[in-house]
């Protein structure tokens, strides 16, 4: 086998062997990969040694940045002592117990139990299944429809892809499942009517949600899934009053709220959870990414007593809770997650985000007057810059022009890794980023924006 790799570049080997997620496979044969070989702080380095500021913390996850030795030590210690054990059939291990206790202590609303999983998708898939299980336990077998929003991102399993409200996750997969109901995206800049205030827009969306629930029949609707700030859909910060008004509708019709905190959890929005920043009262919270700072895969489902009591009764009656993943709550991942949570507390990550977040938000808003920038939005250490063809009319660029992708490509040349969602470019750097590093990130972004502006004006 080793002769296969002799005298061949990583790029060639990648093109021959790897099918990449979220990548155009035909274009990839021409461009090849950017091979990242190491990381340090908020930077990663490619195989030629060039450095990049990771403006998206990898995939919104590497909150403590690269090279955090305490996480390495926690993993290796656990790897030596107990590299694998599970939680099936009355078994337990100390990292999982400690992690669940810590999550319950951190939870922004009272939560009773934690179910450990391995990824954001698994956590949301588990939430979906437990909602169904609960409905059956309560003798409400018809109350199982779930609502998710346009542009939501809740995962890519066969079930969670349907919660996700992005066409690319549905096309050619024969999705979404029609049993998932779709609510509007709370994107004030794009979806509000001319002159409609944020509060009025929120009022309208809550009224639309109520109309949807009534049209379907409240006794058939089980739950509403929401990211506090929508991430992969383009960093959509909820408009004023949104969650209070939505929550009132959910309460009125006994519809559960699932807060998908996979991106927002652990300080991203300035508070420990987006639930606190925006005043949600969820019955279920899902977390992943920042839970282990992305160092190892792990996620969790936090369940309120409203969920736990009927589930326990039903599983007790059936004889077992027939759900669980081999690697759910993996001891090495759990040990790293416990250490991550300790570091957040010891270093007061919330105070740090409170100090540097405004530097990012003010810096991004500094681009608001740029002729190609339609909107700048964000909170804490998450934000986006949306490019438009016409600032006055908000007309978007023809998607075929790939202006957002071009900006990201230029940023990469200037040593900054970002991600485009259409023509919105997202920022979510490691939470440990310093003010100087934010300034450097914004300087690199400004260079990329200047390049793209010159190219767009030329055409
Ligand atoms: N929920 C949200 C809000 C996410 O951003 C993501 C991943 N970007 C997921 C769920 C799915 O997580 P995973 O990729 O770990 O399955």
Residue 288 resides in a domain = yes
Question: What is the spatial distance between Cα 54 and Cα 43, in angstroms, rounded to a whole number?
Answer: 6
Tell me the CA distances in angstroms from 289 to 135, 262, 342, 399, one per residue in order: 29, 6, 16, 30
Mean pLDDT by 10 residues, the chain (459 residues): 70 97 97 97 97 98 98 98 98 98 98 98 98 98 98 98 98 96 98 97 98 98 98 98 98 98 98 98 98 98 98 98 98 99 98 98 98 98 98 95 96 98 97 98 98 86
In this predicted complex, what is the ipTM? Answer: 0.99
Residue 11 resides in a domain = no
Phi-psi region for residue 151, left (φ > 0), alpha (ψ -120 to 50) or beta? left
Of all protein residues, whose CA lies closest to atom 5 belonging to ligand 1?
263
What is the whole-number distance in angstroms between the Cα of residue 296 and the centre of ligand 1? 14
Q: Are residues 43 and 144 in the same domain?
A: no
Question: What is the spatial distance between Cα 426 and Cα 340, in angstroms, rounded to a whole number?
Answer: 24
Of all protein residues, whose CA lies closest to atom 3 belonging to ligand 1?
262
Q: Are residues 176 and 41 in the same domain?
A: no
Residue 4 resides in a domain = no
Question: pTM, whole model, 2 decimals?
Answer: 0.98
Nearest-10 Cα torsion for 288, 289, 292, 295: 140
What is the whole-number distance in angstroms between the Cα of residue 209 and the centre of ligand 1? 24
What is the whole-number distance in angstroms between the Cα of residue 299 and the centre of ligand 1? 10
Residue 256's H or E segment, with its range, is strand 256-260
Question: What is the spatial distance between Cα 333 and Cα 350, in angstroms, rounded to a whole number?
Answer: 23
What is the whole-number distance in angstroms between the Cα of residue 123 and the centre of ligand 1? 9
Of all protein residues, whose CA lies closest to atom 10 belonging to ligand 1?
154
Chosen domain end from 294, 316, 346: 346
What is the whole-number distance in angstroms between the Cα of residue 184 and the centre of ligand 1? 20
> Is residue 291 helix, strand or coil?
helix
Question: Counting atoms of ligand 1 from 1, which one is nearest the CA of 122?
Answer: 16
Question: What is the spatial distance between Cα 249 and Cα 233, in angstroms, rounded to a whole number?
Answer: 24
CB atoms within 10 A of CB 355: 12
Asked if 288 and 402 touch (Cβ cutoff 8 Å), the reply is: no
Residue 19 resides in a domain = no
Residue of 56, 120, 284 with the most ligand 1 atoms within 8 Å of its CB, for mutation: 120
pLDDT at residue number 1: 47
Question: What is the spatial distance between Cα 65 and Cα 58, in angstroms, rounded to a whole number?
Answer: 9
What is the whole-number distance in angstroms between the Cα of residue 164 and the centre of ligand 1? 10
Chosen domain end from 346, 362, 384: 346
Asked if 419 and 372 touch (Cβ cutoff 8 Å), the reply is: no
Name every protein residue with a CB atom under 6 angstroms from any ligand 1 atom.
59, 119-121, 124, 153-155, 227, 231-232, 260, 262-263, 288
Q: Are residues 99 and 199 in the same domain?
A: yes
Question: What is the spatial distance between Cα 425 and Cα 423, in angstroms, rounded to a whole number?
Answer: 6
Q: Are residues 299 and 414 in the same domain?
A: no
pLDDT at residue number 7: 83
Return all residues near 129 (Cβ < 8 A) that are at least 6 apart.
159, 323
Q: Are residues 331 and 397 in the same domain?
A: no
Beta bridge partners of 54: 417
- Domain range for residue 419? 34-67+350-458
Question: Counting atoms of ligand 1 from 1, which one is nearest the CA of 59?
Answer: 8
Q: How many residues belong to the chain?
A: 459
CATH code assigned at 193: 3.40.640.10
């Amino acid at each position: 086998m080793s002769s296969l790799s002799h005298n061949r570049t990583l790029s060639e080997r990648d093109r021959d062997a790897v099918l990449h997620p979220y990548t155009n496979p035909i274009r990839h044969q021409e461009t090849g990969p950017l091979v990242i070989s190491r990381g340090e702080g908020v930077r990663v380095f490619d195989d030629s040694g060039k450095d990049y500021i990771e403006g998206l913390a990898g995939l919104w996850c590497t909150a403590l940045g690269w090279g955090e030795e305490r996480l390495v030590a926690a993993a290796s210690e656990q790897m030596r002592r107990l590299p694998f054990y599970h939680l099936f059939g009355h078994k337990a291990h100390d990292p999982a117990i400690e992690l669940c206790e810590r999550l319950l202590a951190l939870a922004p609303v009272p939560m009773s139990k934690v179910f450990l999983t391995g990824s954001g998708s698994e956590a949301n898939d588990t939430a979906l299944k437990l909602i169904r299980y609960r409905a059956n336990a309560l003798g409400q077998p018809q109350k199982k429809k779930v609502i998710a929003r346009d542009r939501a991102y809740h995962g890519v399993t066969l079930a969670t892809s349907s919660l996700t409200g992005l066409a690319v996750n549905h096309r050619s997969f024969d999705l979404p499942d029609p049993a998932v109901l779709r609510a509007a995206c709370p994107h004030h800049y794009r979806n509000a009517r001319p002159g409609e205030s944020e509060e009025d827009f929120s009022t309208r969306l809550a009224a639309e949600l109520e109309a949807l629930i009534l049209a379907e029949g409240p006794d058939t609707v089980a739950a509403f899934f929401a990211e506090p700030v929508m991430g992969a859909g383009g960093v959509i910060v909820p408009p004023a009053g949104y969650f209070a008004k939505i929550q009132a509708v959910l309460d009125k019709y006994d519809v559960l709220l699932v807060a998908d905190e996979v991106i927002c959890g652990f300080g991203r929005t300035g508070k420990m959870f987006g639930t606190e920043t925006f005043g949600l009262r969820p019955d279920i919270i899902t977390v992943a990414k920042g839970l282990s700072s992305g160092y190892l895969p792990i996620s969790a489902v936090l369940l309120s007593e409203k969920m736990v009591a009927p589930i326990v009764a039903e599983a007790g009656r059936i004889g077992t809770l027939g759900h669980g993943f081999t690697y759910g709550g993996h001891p090495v991942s759990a040990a790293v997650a416990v250490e991550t949570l300790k570091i957040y507390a010891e270093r007061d990550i919330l105070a740090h985000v409170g100090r540097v977040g405004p530097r990012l938000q003010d810096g991004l808003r500094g681009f608001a007057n740029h002729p190609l920038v339609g909107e700048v939005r964000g909170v804490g250490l998450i934000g986006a810059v949306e490019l438009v063809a016409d600032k006055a009319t908000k007309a978007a660029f023809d998607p075929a022009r790939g202006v957002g992708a071009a900006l990201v490509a230029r940023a990469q040349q200037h040593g900054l890794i970002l991600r485009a969602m259409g023509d919105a470019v997202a920022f979510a750097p490691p939470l440990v980023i310093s003010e100087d590093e934010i300034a450097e990130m914004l300087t690199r972004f400004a260079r990329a924006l200047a390049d793209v502006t010159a190219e767009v004006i030329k055409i």
